[in-house]
Structure 1
């Protein structure tokens, strides 16, 4: 299902790209010709941009992450102020890897597209503005006020490492920023990783699989044990028996804590973004947690939050491999989760940042709340 969507997005983007020459009629020679291309962005808008983009700014959740993935940080003319901040507990690997460079760049807004400072953008004079999670009218308004082409990318609802929105956004950015080869490498990296995971678990029967639950799932902040997902992407990739899969909402959701007792999953993973809240709640209400067999049997494991200024795909992938080692130890016996995480981060953001993340959050580990 996802692969059909992927190819459709790629083909549509390729078809949408056309070349046109904008010639200054007063020019005396061909050196004064400024070429442009016309692209279709992820909102379906037709946008005319320079053929050779040299300077960009990014605004909104996840835009700078994907620009980092395709190795186009040298094109940045400015960044949001949140990228200057030394954030204790930052869950953004691209930020951890590149903060010193980001701090050398001018600020073009605070955080999110609605806080973009148009005057600051005009001062740094980018060729293109890249935004995310926005309506076409918002992009048109920014373009009108700044006189600079605006392109919208989308992440969509993260359900797969081959998600059509991820592939479409990477393909579009590769074309716009002349990083098509690198964009294709990143797409293949995620696709190959997902295939590897699926091949490892395809021979495991449902009767061999333990029931699982993800608690404390981060979504615009930290939450307690009742924050979960019926379609948690790492579980989906691993074909795990998610006890919350019967819920109708296919996204992050808050469930009644009594429902978790009813499900009584054999293994519980804790999104480390909510770890402190769950620890505090455990200390206040240990009887509730000790009703759950996963707590009494020592089957509680922490995994990294990957929802931080939208989806951190590298962290989601690293967490998937770690969860695989817990659920299917034989099939993932060759995987060292810490080393695998750094392999992923080094490819995507340029540095192995697992150690820094583990200073901010509990790492990939089995935890016992009763001994804290």
Structure 2
């Protein structure tokens, strides 16, 4: 009897071990196998998404992080650190875009898995092989593309990594339903598409900032029913010539910003930012050379948005914001700011306060 019980116990243990081994296909179509939920994880990008989907407890297993993307929003970062001081103790691994990413540091942290954004994976090149040769599973996700397919798949992948598959499915489903509701309403009315221009306004009034073609704000504006004037000239992100903006004559302009910028007239938005200051900064962009001739300026259809609220699973609120900015009567029932804050209240341990969207 004892031998039979021991044999049965061995089978149960072996089955549990096999059940933990999971194979997924990441957003690049790569099949990767790892024990799920992962016990030692490095978060390369999308740190808030990782917590929203995986719960705060997911950070009990984060052993390293590319921290700059979070710390670039200092007030947001401080809000989280105040709630969970241990975040500040997580080792930083550097940045891919500035070539400070340290493979040696990553290996020294002995992770089971590193989660990277699509652009990080591509930027690391042959360093990916070094990570894999060290026995580290590399999983790629992507919210930057701002497509429904990649948003959903990335959310599901994080759900597997953190052992929160049901929560991930719920979040993904809510995102898909939000987008579907907006697009169905647009299809029924078949209104002409307004021309829209979005610019990251950190450089201030005197320098044209980055705009977006296929991804990020460009994709959001298109999904919400707009004619993105940057799309013919910019593939992903880049700068338009001032003459191109004037020639396109957008009906709506959105200037985005973080909590701080590089000049005194930078667009600022986000945690702790007073709306009156955000509006003042936004109004300053009217003073650009030639902009007084633009339809958006003449008709006071200028808006501000928080740059930290895109390329994330909770940018569904920004889809609502763009839809309402472009079609105010059609979407007058929407409350995008409430939707943004509600996501925090439902899925994150902190709730920000400040200005995340505004208009003149």
Q: TM-score, normalised by structure 2?
A: 0.72
Cα deviation, 1:18-74, whole Å, max 9, x if unaligned, reads xxxxxxxxxx95687544525245245554423x53523223222x33322322442
Quote the Cα distance in structure 2 between the aligned partners of 1:260 and 1:269. 13
Structure 2 residues without counterparts, runs of 5 or longer: 1-8, 268-280
Call closer, same or farther: CA 1:199–1:151 in 2, change over 3 Å.
same
Residue in 1 that maps onto 2:127:
138
TM-score (norm 1): 0.70
Displacement of 1:121 after TM fit?
Answer: 6.0
User: For 2:101 and 2:308, how far apart are their aligned partners in 1?
Assistant: 24
5 Å matches for 1:88-103? 95=77, 98-100=80-82, 103=85
Q: What RMSD over aligned residues (CA atoms) do the two structures have, in Å?
A: 3.8
Mapped to 2, the partners of 1:99 and 1:38 lie a distance apart of: 32
Do the aligned residues in 2 keep the contact of 1:118 with 1:142 (CA within 8 Å)?
Answer: no
Contact 1:83 1:102 in 2 (8 A): no
Residue 111 of structure 1 aligns with which residue?
94
1:53 paired residue number: 37
What are the ranges of 5 or more consecutive residues in structure 1 without an aligned counterpart? 1-27, 368-372
Shift of 1:185: 1.0
**Structure 2 matches for 1:127-206, cutoff 5 A?**
127-132=112-117, 133-135=120-122, 137-145=126-134, 147=135, 149-155=136-142, 157-160=144-147, 162=148, 164-206=149-191
| Count of matched residue pairs | 317
Find 1:301's aligned residue among 275, 300, 303: 303
Contact 2:183 2:223 in 1 (8 A): yes
Q: Distance in 1 between matches of 2:347 and 2:332?
A: 24
The 3 A distance-change label for structure 1 pair 201 and 55 is same
Rounded to whole Å, the distance in 1 between the matches of 2:181 and 2:204 is 31
| Aligned-residue offset at 1:340 | 1.9
1:213 to 197, 212, 222: 197
In structure 2, relative to structure 1, the CA distance for the partners of 1:38 and 1:268 (3 Å cut) is closer
- Are 1:79 and 1:102, in contact at CA under 8 Å, matched by a contact in 2? no
